[in-house]
Protein backbone atom coordinates (compact mmCIF):
# COMPACT_ATOMS: atom_id res chain seq x y z
CA UNK A 1 0.00 0.00 0.00
CA UNK A 2 1.41 3.36 -1.05
CA UNK A 3 1.46 6.50 1.03
CA UNK A 4 -0.36 8.42 -1.72
CA UNK A 5 -2.80 5.77 -2.90
CA UNK A 6 -5.82 7.36 -4.54
CA UNK A 7 -4.28 10.84 -4.64
CA UNK A 8 -4.10 13.06 -7.72
CA UNK A 9 -1.07 15.37 -7.81
CA UNK A 10 0.17 18.22 -9.97
CA UNK A 11 3.93 18.90 -9.88
CA UNK A 12 5.23 21.93 -11.77
CA UNK A 13 8.69 21.94 -13.28
CA UNK A 14 8.49 18.16 -13.25
CA UNK A 15 10.19 17.34 -16.56
CA UNK A 16 13.61 17.34 -14.90
CA UNK A 17 15.64 18.14 -11.80
CA UNK A 18 13.93 18.12 -8.42
CA UNK A 19 10.46 18.03 -9.94
CA UNK A 20 11.24 14.77 -11.70
CA UNK A 21 12.52 13.29 -8.45
CA UNK A 22 9.25 14.24 -6.72
CA UNK A 23 7.19 12.77 -9.55
CA UNK A 24 9.03 9.44 -9.50
CA UNK A 25 8.53 9.05 -5.75
CA UNK A 26 4.86 10.06 -5.93
CA UNK A 27 4.21 7.44 -8.62
CA UNK A 28 6.01 4.82 -6.53
CA UNK A 29 3.77 5.70 -3.58
CA UNK A 30 0.55 5.26 -5.56
CA UNK A 31 -0.34 8.74 -6.80
CA UNK A 32 -1.57 9.74 -10.22
CA UNK A 33 0.72 12.55 -11.33
CA UNK A 34 0.47 15.37 -13.82
CA UNK A 35 3.93 16.30 -15.05
CA UNK A 36 3.50 20.04 -15.66
CA UNK A 37 6.33 21.77 -17.47
CA UNK A 38 7.11 24.23 -20.27
CA UNK A 39 9.44 21.75 -21.96
CA UNK A 40 7.00 19.62 -23.94
CA UNK A 41 9.54 17.22 -25.43
CA UNK A 42 11.16 16.35 -22.11
CA UNK A 43 7.84 16.36 -20.25
CA UNK A 44 6.08 13.98 -22.63
CA UNK A 45 9.05 11.61 -22.66
CA UNK A 46 9.29 11.59 -18.87
CA UNK A 47 5.54 11.06 -18.37
CA UNK A 48 5.70 8.10 -20.76
CA UNK A 49 8.54 6.63 -18.71
CA UNK A 50 6.48 6.97 -15.53
CA UNK A 51 3.66 4.90 -17.00
CA UNK A 52 -0.10 4.94 -17.08
CA UNK A 53 -0.48 6.85 -13.81
CA UNK A 54 1.29 9.90 -15.24
CA UNK A 55 0.37 12.42 -17.91
CA UNK A 56 2.04 15.52 -19.27
CA UNK A 57 0.48 18.97 -19.57
CA UNK A 58 2.44 21.89 -20.97
CA UNK A 59 2.29 25.04 -18.89
CA UNK A 60 3.82 28.47 -18.65
CA UNK A 61 3.42 28.82 -14.89
CA UNK A 62 3.20 32.60 -15.19
CA UNK A 63 0.11 32.33 -17.42
CA UNK A 64 -3.33 32.49 -15.84
CA UNK A 65 -4.92 30.80 -18.85
CA UNK A 66 -2.38 27.98 -18.74
CA UNK A 67 -3.24 27.32 -15.09
CA UNK A 68 -6.95 27.16 -15.89
CA UNK A 69 -6.17 24.71 -18.68
CA UNK A 70 -3.91 22.61 -16.43
CA UNK A 71 -6.58 22.22 -13.75
CA UNK A 72 -9.26 21.35 -16.33
CA UNK A 73 -7.07 18.76 -18.06
CA UNK A 74 -6.02 17.17 -14.77
CA UNK A 75 -9.64 16.73 -13.71
CA UNK A 76 -10.49 15.36 -17.15
CA UNK A 77 -7.71 12.76 -17.02
CA UNK A 78 -7.52 11.82 -13.32
CA UNK A 79 -10.31 13.61 -11.43
CA UNK A 80 -10.27 16.19 -8.61
CA UNK A 81 -6.85 17.26 -7.38
CA UNK A 82 -5.53 16.39 -3.92
CA UNK A 83 -1.94 17.63 -4.09
CA UNK A 84 -0.18 20.60 -5.68
CA UNK A 85 3.60 20.95 -5.59
CA UNK A 86 4.66 24.41 -6.76
CA UNK A 87 8.20 23.43 -7.72
CA UNK A 88 8.93 25.40 -10.91
CA UNK A 89 11.44 28.22 -10.59
CA UNK A 90 14.37 30.05 -12.14
CA UNK A 91 17.18 32.18 -10.82
CA UNK A 92 19.58 34.89 -11.94
CA UNK A 93 22.49 36.75 -10.40
CA UNK A 94 22.05 40.52 -10.21
CA UNK A 95 22.27 43.19 -7.54
CA UNK A 96 19.48 45.62 -6.71
CA UNK A 97 21.32 48.41 -8.50
CA UNK A 98 22.13 46.42 -11.63
CA UNK A 99 19.13 44.23 -12.33
CA UNK A 100 17.06 44.96 -15.40
CA UNK A 101 13.43 45.50 -14.41
CA UNK A 102 12.11 43.17 -17.10
CA UNK A 103 14.35 40.44 -15.71
CA UNK A 104 13.04 41.15 -12.21
CA UNK A 105 9.45 40.89 -13.46
CA UNK A 106 10.17 37.57 -15.18
CA UNK A 107 11.72 36.08 -12.04
CA UNK A 108 8.79 37.21 -9.91
CA UNK A 109 6.22 35.90 -12.39
CA UNK A 110 7.75 32.44 -12.62
CA UNK A 111 8.80 32.03 -8.99
CA UNK A 112 6.04 33.73 -7.02
CA UNK A 113 3.14 34.74 -9.25
CA UNK A 114 2.95 31.10 -10.31
CA UNK A 115 2.44 30.07 -6.68
CA UNK A 116 -0.48 32.46 -6.32
CA UNK A 117 -2.05 31.28 -9.60
CA UNK A 118 -1.55 27.62 -8.76
CA UNK A 119 -3.17 27.90 -5.35
CA UNK A 120 -5.99 30.10 -6.64
CA UNK A 121 -7.01 27.74 -9.43
CA UNK A 122 -6.45 24.44 -7.62
CA UNK A 123 -8.64 25.53 -4.70
CA UNK A 124 -12.04 24.69 -6.26
CA UNK A 125 -10.81 21.24 -7.27
CA UNK A 126 -9.46 20.49 -3.79
CA UNK A 127 -12.64 21.84 -2.23
CA UNK A 128 -14.64 19.20 -4.11
CA UNK A 129 -12.70 16.50 -2.29
CA UNK A 130 -12.92 18.35 1.03
CA UNK A 131 -9.17 18.11 1.53
CA UNK A 132 -5.88 18.98 -0.07
CA UNK A 133 -2.18 19.53 0.46
CA UNK A 134 -0.12 22.27 -1.18
CA UNK A 135 3.67 22.20 -0.97
CA UNK A 136 5.38 25.40 -2.08
CA UNK A 137 9.09 25.19 -2.81
CA UNK A 138 10.92 28.27 -1.60
CA UNK A 139 14.69 28.32 -0.99
CA UNK A 140 17.26 29.28 1.60
CA UNK A 141 17.03 32.61 -0.23
CA UNK A 142 13.58 32.84 1.33
CA UNK A 143 15.22 32.77 4.76
CA UNK A 144 18.14 35.14 4.24
CA UNK A 145 19.76 36.98 1.38
CA UNK A 146 23.10 36.77 -0.37
CA UNK A 147 24.73 39.33 -2.62
CA UNK A 148 23.56 39.59 -6.23
CA UNK A 149 20.33 37.65 -5.69
CA UNK A 150 17.88 40.55 -5.57
CA UNK A 151 15.07 39.13 -7.71
CA UNK A 152 15.46 35.53 -6.60
CA UNK A 153 15.45 36.48 -2.92
CA UNK A 154 12.38 38.69 -3.40
CA UNK A 155 10.50 35.92 -5.16
CA UNK A 156 11.32 33.28 -2.57
CA UNK A 157 10.34 35.52 0.36
CA UNK A 158 7.05 36.10 -1.50
CA UNK A 159 6.45 32.34 -1.49
CA UNK A 160 6.52 32.45 2.32
CA UNK A 161 3.89 35.16 2.45
CA UNK A 162 1.62 33.50 -0.08
CA UNK A 163 1.82 30.22 1.83
CA UNK A 164 0.82 31.91 5.09
CA UNK A 165 -2.13 33.58 3.38
CA UNK A 166 -3.32 30.27 1.94
CA UNK A 167 -3.14 28.66 5.38
CA UNK A 168 -5.68 31.17 6.70
CA UNK A 169 -7.89 31.21 3.62
CA UNK A 170 -7.98 27.46 2.94
CA UNK A 171 -7.83 25.94 6.43
CA UNK A 172 -11.57 25.81 7.01
CA UNK A 173 -11.87 23.68 3.90
CA UNK A 174 -9.32 21.15 5.23
CA UNK A 175 -6.75 22.28 2.68
CA UNK A 176 -3.21 22.59 4.01
CA UNK A 177 -0.30 24.66 2.72
CA UNK A 178 3.34 24.36 3.72
CA UNK A 179 6.61 25.76 2.40
CA UNK A 180 9.99 24.07 2.19
CA UNK A 181 13.39 25.73 2.02
CA UNK A 182 15.96 23.46 0.35
CA UNK A 183 19.67 24.08 0.56
CA UNK A 184 22.26 22.87 -1.95
CA UNK A 185 21.07 19.81 -3.89
CA UNK A 186 22.99 17.47 -6.17
CA UNK A 187 21.68 18.24 -9.66
CA UNK A 188 23.14 18.62 -13.14
CA UNK A 189 23.94 22.24 -12.32
CA UNK A 190 25.99 21.43 -9.22
CA UNK A 191 27.98 18.89 -11.23
CA UNK A 192 29.05 21.41 -13.89
CA UNK A 193 32.73 22.34 -13.97
CA UNK A 194 32.03 26.07 -13.59
CA UNK A 195 30.05 25.54 -10.38
CA UNK A 196 32.08 22.83 -8.66
CA UNK A 197 34.37 25.27 -6.86
CA UNK A 198 31.45 27.29 -5.49
CA UNK A 199 29.66 24.13 -4.36
CA UNK A 200 32.81 22.86 -2.64
CA UNK A 201 33.15 26.15 -0.77
CA UNK A 202 29.53 26.05 0.36
CA UNK A 203 29.82 22.40 1.39
CA UNK A 204 32.53 23.35 3.88
CA UNK A 205 29.98 25.58 5.64
CA UNK A 206 27.37 22.82 5.87
CA UNK A 207 27.56 21.07 9.26
CA UNK A 208 26.80 17.70 7.65
CA UNK A 209 29.67 18.35 5.19
CA UNK A 210 27.74 17.25 2.13
CA UNK A 211 25.05 18.52 -0.19
CA UNK A 212 21.59 16.93 -0.39
CA UNK A 213 20.63 14.09 -2.66
CA UNK A 214 17.43 14.82 -4.63
CA UNK A 215 15.48 12.02 -2.93
CA UNK A 216 16.12 13.59 0.47
CA UNK A 217 14.12 16.63 -0.61
CA UNK A 218 11.50 14.45 -2.29
CA UNK A 219 10.99 12.48 0.94
CA UNK A 220 10.06 15.72 2.71
CA UNK A 221 7.69 16.75 -0.09
CA UNK A 222 6.10 13.29 0.08
CA UNK A 223 5.54 13.57 3.83
CA UNK A 224 3.91 17.00 3.55
CA UNK A 225 1.76 15.86 0.62
CA UNK A 226 0.55 12.74 2.42
CA UNK A 227 -2.04 12.27 5.15
CA UNK A 228 0.80 11.57 7.56
CA UNK A 229 1.13 15.35 7.95
CA UNK A 230 -2.63 15.91 8.30
CA UNK A 231 -2.24 18.41 11.18
CA UNK A 232 0.69 20.31 9.68
CA UNK A 233 -0.13 23.54 7.89
CA UNK A 234 1.75 26.82 7.74
CA UNK A 235 5.04 25.08 8.43
CA UNK A 236 8.31 26.45 7.08
CA UNK A 237 10.62 23.47 6.82
CA UNK A 238 14.30 24.16 6.21
CA UNK A 239 16.15 21.19 4.71
CA UNK A 240 19.74 22.29 4.28
CA UNK A 241 22.05 20.07 6.36
CA UNK A 242 22.34 22.91 8.90
CA UNK A 243 23.66 25.55 6.50
CA UNK A 244 21.41 28.30 7.89
CA UNK A 245 22.97 27.73 11.31
CA UNK A 246 26.37 28.50 9.82
CA UNK A 247 25.03 31.83 8.59
CA UNK A 248 23.67 32.67 12.04
Give the model's confidence band at 195: pLDDT under 50 very low, under 70 low, under 90 confident, else very high. Answer: low
The answer on pLDDT for 124 being more than 80 is yes
In this predicted structure, what is the pLDDT of residue 171?
98
Residue 147 has pLDDT above 90, yes or no: no
Using CA atoms, how far apart are residues 42 and 47, in angstroms rounded to an integer?
9
Choose, from 101, 104, 152, 247, the residue flagged as catalytic: 152
Spatial separation of the C-alpha atoms in residues 55 and 120, rounded to whole Å: 22
Instruction: Give the other-Cβ count within 10 Å of 192's Cβ.
Output: 10
CATH of 8-238, one of 3.40.30.10, 3.50.50.60, 3.40.50.720, 3.40.50.10800: 3.40.50.720
pLDDT digits (tens, 9 = 90+) for 212-223: 999 999 999 999
In a 13 Å sphere around the CA of 119, the CA atoms on its Cβ side amount to: 28
Higher-confidence residue: 68 or 144? Answer: 68
Tens-digit pLDDT profile for residues 127-142: 999 999 999 999 998 9
Burial of residue 130 (CB within 10 Å: 0-12, 13-18, 19+) is exposed
Segment 43-67, tens digit of pLDDT:
999 999 999 999 999 999 999 999 9
Closest CA to 170 of 245, 95, 92, 84: 84
Cβ within 8 Å of residue 146, ≥6 positions away: 153
Torsion angle of C-alpha atoms 112, 113, 119, 125, degrees rounded to 10: -140
pLDDT at 227: 98
Average pLDDT over residues 186-195: 68
pLDDT tens per residue across span 85-96: 999 999 888 899
SS3 246: helix
Confidence at residue 194, expressed as pLDDT on a 0 to 100 scale = 55
Q: What is the DSSP letter of 65?
A: H
pLDDT score recorded for residue 197: 74
Report yes or no: 39 and 16 within 8 Å, Cβ to Cβ: yes
Sign of the CA dihedral 111, 112, 115, 120?
Answer: negative
Q: What separation in angstroms does the CA of 18 have from each of 14, 81, 88, 200?
A: 7, 21, 9, 20
Confirm whether 152 is a catalytic residue: yes
Contact 85, 74 (CB under 8 A): no
Amino acid sequence: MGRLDGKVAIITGAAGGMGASHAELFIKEGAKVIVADFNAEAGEKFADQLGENAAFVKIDVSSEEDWKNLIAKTEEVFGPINILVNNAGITNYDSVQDIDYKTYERIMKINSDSVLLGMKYVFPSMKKGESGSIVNVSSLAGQFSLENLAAYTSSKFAVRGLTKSAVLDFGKHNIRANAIFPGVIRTAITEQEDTKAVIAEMTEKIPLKRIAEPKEISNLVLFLASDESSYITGAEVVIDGGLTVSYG
